[in-house]
Amino acid sequence: MASGTPGAGGCTSSLMAARWTITISIVNIVEGFYMNFLMATPLKMSSITDPTRMGAKVDKWTLRFLSMAQSVARWSKDPSTRVGAVLVSPDRRIVIPGYNGLPRGIEDSTDRLLNREWKLRTILHAEHNAILTARQDVSGWTMYVTHHPCSNCSAVMVQSGIGAVHYIRDDAFEDKWRCSLETAGILFKEAGVHVEGHRLWMG
């Protein structure tokens, strides 16, 4: 009995070591994939700055999640405007993507995607898609999006309890949808949602 104990202990130690090796390998693979995804941006950029404080760089997490939103935007099939969003939990452990597109199971044919009136009536926006995908309480979460949210999306975000919104500034887009974006600003302000726009500088 005594002679068998060391053998059993050695076997257990070997199994534990193997499990740790497998676990560490999986973590490294996932972590590597995540970082590669974060850095796979469609645009080369030197920095993202807050336009109200020209030249002041934002924190690394804001930069990463805005970069991820840009990558997610490429999943959209909308030929006119591709919007990407990522919804992030307060501890940054959950990241949920969303992009503008037709509802699940609905054919996204070229004819439909080129029909502006059809798209306006049927397409789900990136922010709304991210919230629907979450399927859980997102109160206090942060939304990172490639464009300023419209009035409808802002209403959904306010109702869902989103605590902050970061978006990339786009003057042409903001001029085109000025009325809707002004309404969005009013809703965000009244609901106490922190909103911050960041201008993209090419480098």
Taking the CA of residue 141 as centre, how many other CA atoms within 13 Å lie in the half-sphere pointing to its CB? 26
127 is catalytic: yes
What the block records as the tokens of 6 is 């060391």
Active-site residue identified among 107, 127, 174, 196:
127
Beta bridge partners of 97: 86
CA distance linking residue 89 with residue 196, whole number of Å = 17
Contact 66, 110 (CB under 8 A): no
Token pair 């919007």 in the structure block, residue: 83
CA distance linking residue 167 with residue 157, whole number of Å = 14
CA distance linking residue 179 with residue 193, whole number of Å = 19
Cα 39 → chain centroid: 13
Q: Please report which residue ranges of the chain form alpha helices under DSSP H.
A: 4-39, 60-73, 110-113, 116-122, 126-134, 151-160, 171-176, 178-191
Catalytic residue numbers read: 127
